[in-house]
C-alpha cells in the first residue's frame, strides 16, 4: 500500500509479514537510486527500529515512527492517536548465530560494508552454543536479518529485550523462514508463533538455554 505524502516523501506500507525484514531490504535498495535519504521502519508493536539509508549505508534514527512520518509530511496510516510515550528503557537485540564462525561473519559484514570493520564495531563472542552478536560502536540494526539471507542454512535466534526483561521477543530464522516467540502469549506477532524456545518458556530460562547473559541487554 502506498501512502502519498504532502511533500517529497511517500510511504510504502506492507500489509503482510511473510518475508524477513522486507522494509529494510527495500529501503536499502531504493536508497541507491535516490539522492535523499530513504527511511525504513521495522518493529514488533511496542519496540520499533527506524533506519535511514544513504546509498546503501544504514544509520539508526532515534525517533518514533509517527514523529518521523509527521516530520516528512507523510503521516503513517495507523497514526490516529497522540504520539505514544517511548519505552522508559530501550530494548537491545542480541543474536545467537549457529553454524557460522566469527571470522566468516566478520568477512561477510566487511564485504557488505565495502571496508574492513574496526575492532569493536560489533560485540562478538564465540560460545559453545554459537556466536553471540550485538551492538558495539555501531548498532546491530538488522544485521541478523541480512545474515539470515546470506547464510540461509544457519540458525539465527534474535532476542530483543529491555534490561529488566519486561519486554521480551525472540525470532528464530532458518532457511529464510522465521518463527516468533512473544510474551505475553496472544500478543500480536509478525510471524508464525512458537510457544517455547529450546524447550523453555520464560525469559530467564530461554536466555540460559541460548547461552546469552542477561547483562548483554544493559545499554
In 3D space, the residue among 183, 186, 187 whose CA is nearest the CA of residue 197 turns out to be 183
Asked whether residue 190 falls in the same domain as residue 100, the answer is: yes
Asked whether residue 213 falls in the same domain as residue 126, the answer is: yes
> In degrees rounded to 5, what are phi and psi of residue 193?
-85, 140
Structural contact between residues 211 and 157, judged by C-beta atoms closer than 8 angstroms:
no
The total domain count for the chain is: 2
- What are the tens digits of pLDDT across the range 29-76? 888 888 888 888 776 445 567 888 888 887 877 777 777 777 777 776
- What are the tens digits of pLDDT across the range 77-117? 666 544 444 444 578 899 999 999 999 999 999 988 888 99
Neighbouring-strand partners of residue 125: 132
Q: What is the pTM of this model?
A: 0.66
In 3D space, the residue among 54, 75, 71 whose CA is nearest the CA of residue 11 turns out to be 75
Residue-range definition of the domain harbouring residue 210 = 92-217
pLDDT at 217: 92
In 3D space, the residue among 142, 112, 185 whose CA is nearest the CA of residue 48 turns out to be 142
Integer Cα distance of 143 and 148 in angstroms: 9
Asked whether residue 40 falls in the same domain as residue 102, the answer is: no
Does 136 map to a domain?
yes
Query: To which H or E segment does residue 138 belong?
Result: none
Amino acid at each position: 500500500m502506498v501512502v502519498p505524502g504532502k511533500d517529497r516523501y511517500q510511504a510504502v506500507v506492507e500489509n503482510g509479514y511473510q518475508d524477513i525484514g522486507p522494509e529494510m531490504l527495500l529501503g536499502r535498495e531504493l536508497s541507491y537510486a535516490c539522492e535523499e535519504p530513504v527511511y525504513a521502519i521495522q518493529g514488533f508493536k511496542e519496540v520499533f527500529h527506524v533506519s535511514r539509508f544513504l546509498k546503501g549505508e544504514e544509520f539508526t534514527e532515534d525517533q518514533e515512527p509517527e514523529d518521523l512520518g509527521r516530520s516528512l509530511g507523510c503521516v503513517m496510516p495507523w497514526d490516529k492517536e497522540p504520539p505514544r510515550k517511548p519505552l522508559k528503557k530501550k530494548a537491545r537485540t542480541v543474536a545467537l548465530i549457529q553454524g557460522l564462525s566469527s571470522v566468516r561473519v566478520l568477512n561477510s559484514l566487511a564485504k557488505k560494508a565495502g571496508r574492513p570493520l574496526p575492532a569493536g564495531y560489533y560485540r562478538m563472542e564465540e560460545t559453545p552454543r554459537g556466536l553471540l552478536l550485538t551492538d558495539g560502536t555501531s548498532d546491530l540494526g538488522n544485521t541478523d536479518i541480512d545474515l539470515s539471507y546470506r547464510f540461509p542454512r544457519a540458525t539465527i535466534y534474535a532476542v530483543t529485550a529491555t534490561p529488566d526483561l519486561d519486554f521480551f521477543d525472540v525470532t528464530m530464522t532458518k532457511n529464510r523462514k522465521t518463527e516468533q516467540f512473544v510474551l505475553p502469549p496472544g500478543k500480536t506477532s509478525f510471524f508464525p508463533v512458537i510457544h517455547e524456545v529450546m524447550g523453555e518458556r520464560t525469559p530467564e530460562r530461554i536466555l540460559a538455554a541460548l547461552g546469552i547473559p542477561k547483562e548483554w541487554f544493559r545499554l
